[in-house]
Structure 1
Amino acid sequence: MQIALKKYTLKLAHTFTISRESRDEQDTLIVCLSHDGKTGYGEATSNPYYGITIEKMMGEIESNSAAIESYELDSPENFYEHLESMGLHKFTLCALDLAANDLFGKLQGKPLYEIWGTDSSRYPTTNYTIGIASIDKMVEKLKEKPWPVYKIKLGTKEDVAIVQELRKYTDAIFRIDANTAWTAEETIKNAPILKELGVEFLEQPLKADDWEGMKLVREQSVLPVIADESCIVESDVEKCGPYFHGINIKLTKCGGLTPARRMIKKGRELGLQLMVGCMTESSVGISAIAQLLPQLDYVDMDGAMLLKEDIASGVTILENGEVIFPKLPGSGIQLL
């Protein structure tokens, strides 16, 4: 295989704010793996919360480029084991694994979901994210993008008031993501009010390691609670089982499609609701997530929809939430 690395700075359509940060752009790394005239693409973004930079990922890949390029891609799963032996960061693993899966599908001439034996005719609708801003600005964002399901980022002193105001303008399903900003008491108190306002579930209300608080929330919350920051890698799935109703798997955090599929399998065995989420990323990462859609209960794959301009083509999400899978095999990705 031949490897090429491309760094992009993705400009966002709006300032994106969650409980711990705001940004107007997002740096991302695109990994290109080529063989026999085909090229597979993978992506991983920088992330200060997890201490990862584009330069760190590029350095890891360049240091191991000979071992990567000499590998004969017999399967993405075997390639993943090969990569793990190099001690790469999970974000780096993700970019390489996504590229390998896309390339493998293109070499096989089939989309990944077909290789995995799943039916793409039924899938959950992605939510569209409304980041934290003034209430007026959040209402403006909602009006600008009519959508059947919204994820609302919270973690302010006006959280309930925000949801009450947004509800005046839409009948859409609401999902709440507090990004670890609440206490157990706040969560339990807010849940009945939010349920009455049409909220479907709460995502990661407490700090990632507040297991005692999550035990109370799991027992007393009238809304289901989905783990995000508490569920990063494969071993976290079983740990989260007693404390959450479901898990949100992020490909960049867990290391790519290969471990994500194992997390989905384990989650099903434990009776957990399954969601896959995205970072603020291009259609490279989003198209990889889309291959998992038939296996999921919920999905958050609006990352490319939040950009001023995309850098790739692949899966297309229509205005009603319908997903159009590309005819190109693999994850169906092409750089623009």
Structure 2
Amino acid sequence: MQLFFHQFDLRLRHTFTIAHDSRDSQPTLIVELKDGAFSGFGEATSNKYYGITIDSMISALENIRELIENHSLSSPEQLWETTHPFLLDNPFAQCALDEAAHDLWAKKQGKKLYDAWGLSGESLPITDYTIGIDSIEKMIAKMNEFPWPLYKIKLGTAHDLEIIKELRKHTDAVFRVDANCAWNAPQAIEYSFELKKWGVEFIEQPLPAHDWEGMKEVYLKSALPCIADESCIVESDVAKCEGYFHGVNVKLTKCGGLTPARRMLAEAKRLGMQTMVGCMNESSVGISAIAHLLPLLDYVDMDGTLLIANDPATGVTFDNGKIIFANENGTGASLKTII
């Protein structure tokens, strides 16, 4: 195999603001594994919150280039296990490599990835479309600009309930809300009853990740299910979330790729929790990888490509929230231009 890197700066259609960050563009790294006529692609974005840069990902993978290129890739999981000890401090790099390995592995079998895993591509959940924090007028305008059956509303302001109340006047779509750690337990419990009245499906990460005592109270008293995000990063976190959250949102970049994500989703199901996968404003490369986990999910947030203006790749597409797989093997992702 040969290892290649492709860097892009993804331009966001609108300034994207959440409780702890705001940005107009998103640097991303696409990893390519090439074996003869086949190329597999994987992706991970930079992330200030987790201290991940494009340079740090490239450096981490360059340090084990020989190990990667000399691997037989008999299975993506085997490559993950082989490289994981060297990438413990950079799960984002591990994710990009793991996605590329899965894409290449399935392409060499002449199968779509979900098919190579033995999963069905039928009866899949639809994706939400995210409305970032802004003035209420601009949030309404963003929603009206992009009619969708399911919206994820970012919260964490001094007027969160007012936002949902006003947005509800302009659509009958289902709402999900994501506080990104911004509330405390009494707030979350109080808000949950109002949010339920306004057609909110669940609350994602209402409290800071370390506030387990508060989450226990919210779990017991909330009128809505609560889904862990920042509280569920790696595989061992899934079991910690039992009895504190009703479900988990697995992010491929944070856990290290498709290999650990599948194990996390299986563990969550075993524990009776709901399953979700979210995105990090990736291009069609990362979003297409997420799509193959859909048969394992109750919910999905894979709107990254809908939020960017200069997608450098092709892959899955969308029809009013429904995911349409590309007519290609592997994850279905391809770069529009190989640099």
Normalised TM-score (structure 2): 0.98
Rounded Cα–Cα distance in structure 2 between residues aligned with 1:16 and 1:326: 27
Rounded Cα–Cα distance in structure 2 between residues aligned with 1:195 and 1:83: 45
Q: CA deviation at 1:87?
A: 3.4
Amino acid at match of 1:67: L
Q: Which residue of 1 aligns with 2:190?
A: 189
2:80 is the counterpart of 1:80: yes
In structure 1, stretches of 5+ residues that fail to align are none
Q: Which residue of 2 aligns with 1:241?
A: 242
2:39 is the counterpart of 1:22: no
Query: 2:152 is paired with a residue of what secondary structure?
Result: strand
Query: 1:327 is paired with a residue of what secondary structure?
Result: coil
Rounded Cα–Cα distance in structure 2 between residues aligned with 1:36 and 1:72: 13
Alignment of 1:1-336 (within 5 A): 1-88=1-88, 89-318=90-319, 320-336=320-336
Query: 1:49 is paired with a residue of what secondary structure?
Result: coil
Q: CA deviation at 1:149?
A: 0.4
Rounded Cα–Cα distance in structure 1 between residues aligned with 2:170 and 2:21: 27
Amino acid at match of 2:61: I
Amino acid at match of 1:8: F
Q: Contact 2:47/2:53 (CA < 8 Å) preserved in 1?
A: yes
Rounded Cα–Cα distance in structure 2 between residues aligned with 1:321 and 1:224: 22
Q: Could you list the per-position Cα deviations for residues 75-128 of structure 1 after superposition, in whole angstroms to 9, with x for gaps in the alignment? A: 011111011132341111000000000000110110111111111111101000
Q: Contact 2:249/2:276 (CA < 8 Å) preserved in 1?
A: yes
Q: Could you list the per-position Cα deviations for residues 228-264 of structure 1 after superposition, in whole angstroms to 9, with x for gaps in the alignment? A: 0000000000001110000000000000000000001
Q: Contact 2:238/2:267 (CA < 8 Å) preserved in 1?
A: yes
- Structure 1 runs of 4+ off > 4 angstroms? none
Amino acid at match of 1:324: I
Q: Could you list the per-position Cα deviations for residues 123-176 of structure 1 after superposition, in whole angstroms to 9, with x for gaps in the alignment? A: 101000000000000000000010000000000001000000000010000000
Rounded Cα–Cα distance in structure 1 between residues aligned with 2:215 and 2:39: 44
Q: CA deviation at 1:324?
A: 1.3
Rounded Cα–Cα distance in structure 2 between residues aligned with 1:63 and 1:81: 16
Rounded Cα–Cα distance in structure 2 between residues aligned with 1:87 and 1:310: 27
Q: Identity, % of aligned pairs?
A: 58
Q: Contact 2:31/2:42 (CA < 8 Å) preserved in 1?
A: yes
Rounded Cα–Cα distance in structure 2 between residues aligned with 1:80 and 1:64: 12
Amino acid at match of 1:269: R
Q: Could you list the per-position Cα deviations for residues 203-252 of structure 1 after superposition, in whole angstroms to 9, with x for gaps in the alignment? A: 00000010000000001001000000000000000001110000000000
Root-mean-square deviation (CA, aligned residues, Å) is: 0.7
Rounded Cα–Cα distance in structure 1 between residues aligned with 2:222 and 2:159: 20
The number of aligned residues is 335
Amino acid at match of 1:301: M
Normalised TM-score (structure 1): 0.99
Q: CA deviation at 1:37?
A: 1.0
Query: 2:49 is paired with a residue of what secondary structure?
Result: helix
Amino acid at match of 2:94: L
Query: 2:86 is paired with a residue of what secondary structure?
Result: coil
Rounded Cα–Cα distance in structure 1 between residues aligned with 2:267 and 2:3: 32
Rounded Cα–Cα distance in structure 2 between residues aligned with 1:314 and 1:136: 33
Q: CA deviation at 1:326?
A: 1.3
In structure 2, stretches of 5+ residues that fail to align are none
Rounded Cα–Cα distance in structure 2 between residues aligned with 1:23 and 1:55: 19
Q: Contact 2:87/2:93 (CA < 8 Å) preserved in 1?
A: no
Rounded Cα–Cα distance in structure 2 between residues aligned with 1:273 and 1:325: 24
Which has the larger displacement, 79-88 or 188-197?
79-88
